[in-house]
Structure 1
C-alpha cells in the first residue's frame, strides 16, 4: 500500500495561550492511500473536519473527545478512512477524487490545567493518473506538400500534462517528432519522410501512458524514372548494345502507391511493366525507348527517354589480292571489302611472321626477290563487334625471268584482255572445279616480237611451266 505522509512539525506553545495554526500540503493519487497527520503527539481530544474546494463550510469527519473515536457519515464519501493507533492521524485508502480539499484537525492538549489548542490545516490534492491516450489524425494518407494535424486525446489525467509525439520508421527507428504541453500539433509541408508509425505519450506527475501506433502513409510521385540498361554500355549518343545480345531495360520511379510502367519504342507502346527485355536484339531495334511511370491514385505521371544504338558487324567478308608494283620487282598485297573491316598485318608467305601493315590503305609492299611459286599469303580482317576473323588467301604463281604482264580467265574465257597480275587469288571457300587459264605477255624489248604462252591448271594442282 502506497502512502503519502504528512511532514511532521514540532508543537509550538503560545505563551499567550492563543490557538496555533499550521499549514501543510499533501498529494495523493486516485485509488491509492494517503496519511493525514494531526501533530507529532497524541492529543487528549481532536476533531477532523473537511471543507470542499470552493466552499467555506466545515463538516466533521471523525473526532475523539476522550470517549473513543466517532467516524461521521461524511467519511464514507472520502474513501476508506481509519484512525491510526496511538495517534490522531488518519489513513484514507482507495482515495477518491472527491477527497480533494481542506482537512482541518483541531487538537487539544492539557485540558485539566491550561488547555492548548492547535489547528492543523492539511491541503489534500488528489491527482488522477493519465489514462491511455489515443491518437487522431486529420488525414492518414496526406498528399506530399499538404498540411494535416495530430491530436492526442485523454479521458483522464491531472495537469499539467506533457505530450510527446513519436515517429517510428519502417526499419524500427523511433524518434521524438514533436513535444509540448498542448495535445494537438499541426504538420505543414508533408513529405515522404513523414511516412511511418506514430504514437503519442502523455505524462503528468503521477504516470506516463502511450497510445497505440497509427500509420501515416504519404502519397507522392512518381519521380522522374531511372532506366538501368544491362549490359551497361554508354556512348556519346546514349546507350549501345551488340546485335544478338539480350538487352534488359529496367525502369524505376519513386511513388506511393507504386508506379505503373508503360514502355514506348519510337513513340509506339510496346510493353507494360517495369522491365523490358529484348532477346537477341537486332539492328532494327535501334531507336528511342521511353518509360512512362504513372501514379493511378493521384493521376500523375512522369517520363524518361533514352537512345539505344545496336551495333553489328558489316555484311560480307574482305577479299585480298597480290599484284606487281614498281615495274615488277615489288609485290603489293591489297585487301578490300566492307568499310568497317581493317585487316591485321598479313603474315609472311607460308609462315606466321608478319610482313607489314598499312592501316590507311590496307596495302603492304613486299620485295618479290626470293619468293617461290605457290607462296600463300593470308590476311586476317577482324571486326571489333565480331569474334570471328574473316580470312582471305592469295597464292603467288611466279616465273622469274623476263618482265611479264599476266591475266587470268576461267573455263577458257579471257578477262576482257585486261592486263592484270601473275597472281591467282582463291577465296577460302573455293567454287566447283574449273579450268583457269593464265595469259602471259612477255616483253623482250622494243624491237623483239611478243610471245604468248597459255598454261591451264586445275584447282588443287601445281602450276608447271610449259616446255620451250
Structure 2
C-alpha cells in the first residue's frame, strides 16, 4: 500500500554460531497513483463575494511525484497557476464562478481530483436572485474523461446532502453506489463509463435550489487502447457437437478493424467459411461490444488456437481461445478406412501394455 512507502524492513537473524544477532534492512520504494487535496483561503464554508482575495491550492501525493494542473470547466483557469499549485485571485469576479478540478499526469496515466464548484456571490435585485441561482446550477452537469486504468474522484457540491448513483445502461434505473458524498474509482475499466448522479436522499425536499444542487450529473468517459475479455481461455468441445466462442471487447476511440483467425484462416464478422460462422458485432454497453464465432460441428481438425484481434487508433489487442476436444459417453469415432481404425486401436493397446510392463518391471 502507499502507506508502506519509505518504510524500513529489517530481517533479524539468530543462530547458534553467532554471538549476537545480525540484521539487514531495506527501504521500500512503493509507486502509487496520485491522490489530491484541495484547500481554499478563506476556508470552505465562508461565502465568497465579488472583489475579495481568494486562493485555491492543490496538493498531489504520488510516487513518482506528479505536478498539479488546474482546470476550470475543463479548460485553462482564468488566472496563472503558481508552480506549487496555487490559483491566486487578487480580486475575484463573478465570471470566475464554475467547476474547478486538479489534474495530473503520471507514469500510469492521467488522473483527476474531485470537482469543486466555486460560487462567487454578488449583489443583485431580490427578484433576480432566484433566476441567477437556477441558471448557475443548471450548468453544473460535467463531463470527465479518464484514461483506461486511471482513477477518478467525484464529489457532491459542498454544503448539500446527497449520495452517488449510476444510471444503468438500457434499464435507465439509478443504481445506488453507497451513502458517501464522495465517489472514488481506481483503475477504471471501460464498463464503468456512463452517467453518474449525485441525488438527494430526501424525496420530500421542498427547496428547489437544494434539489438542483443534489441532482448533479457527471458523464464519465474512458479512453485508451482496446481491451479484450477474456484474454486467454481454454475450452473443451465435444466431438461432433457445435461450439460457440464468445468474446467481449471495448475500445474508445472506436475500433476500426476486428477479425477472427481460425484454422489458419482469417474470418471477418458477418462471413462464414468451412463450417465456421463469424456473427456480426453487437453492442453490449458504452464502448463495449460482443463478437461470436460459431463452429457448426467440431472435428479433430478444429482442435487448436483461435484468435480474436481488435484494432483502434490507440493500439491492438488479442483474445485467445484454446480448444480441446472430448468424446461423448459411448461415442465411437468412425474412420473412412476400417483398417486404419483397427490399426489405431491396436497401436493404442500396445502402447498401454508397454507402459504397464515398464511400470511393473522397472
Please confirm whether the aligned pair reaches a TM-score higher than 0.5, indicating the same fold. Answer: no
Q: Which one has a bigger Cα radius of gyration?
A: 1
Using CA pairs under 8 Å that are at least 6 residues apart, name the structure with larger relative contact order, 1 or 2.
2
Normalising by structure 2, we get a TM-score of 0.26
- Structure whose residues are more often helix by fraction: 2
